[in-house]
Amino acid sequence: MNHLIDINDDDAADAERAACELAEIGEIEAHDAELAAEDAAQPKAVHRFGDTWEAYDATQCRDDIADGDVLVIESEQVVGFLVEAWPVAITEAHGEFHRLTASVQEFKDGRYVASAERAAELAGELGFPMRQSVQTA
């Protein structure tokens, strides 16, 4: 008995399955990017603290402070925003916060542009000097 295997049929089915999986992945990634863009455009809450140490501590344990929220510490002339779990300052003074050293358009693919713009607006209203490396527009 002679058994023949048609490799081409299996390859075509495998290629079709792979193409479908890639299309699904592309749709998921596009949907995720759309959700991230919508979230980034939402107004962020503003939280005020007595000092950057208190603010940093609060970002680590308070559920009401969310990614992208703006943080204002007038006593130290610091304004920034929360990046995931790390507070980042856009002002010259940074206290206990990390420093944002790149333009927000480049930082994390622009995910924090709305947060940085709101932080810059507040820093300007308060007369706090901003880092020259930070560009929000």
Q: What is the pTM of this model?
A: 0.70
Q: Which residues of the chain have pLDDT under 50?
A: none
Does residue 131 form part of some domain? Answer: no
Does residue 118 form part of some domain? Answer: yes
User: Are residues 29 and 50 both part of a single domain?
Assistant: no
pLDDT for res 109: 87
Domain of 120, in residue numbers: 46-126
Does residue 55 form part of some domain? Answer: yes
pLDDT for res 28: 73
**CA pair distance 94, 108, nearest whole angstrom:** 20
Q: Pick from 55, 63, 121: which is nearest to 87 by CA? A: 55
pLDDT for res 134: 73
How many residues are present in the chain? 137
User: Are residues 117 and 82 both part of a single domain?
Assistant: yes
pLDDT > 90: what percent of the chain? 54
Q: What is the pLDDT of residues 25-57, one digit of tens each?
A: 777 766 556 655 655 556 689 999 999 999 999
Q: Pick from 101, 106, 76, 77: which is nearest to 88 by CA? A: 101
Number of domains in the chain: 2
User: Are residues 120 and 74 both part of a single domain?
Assistant: yes
Question: Which contiguous run of DSSP H or E holds residue 79?
Answer: strand 78-83
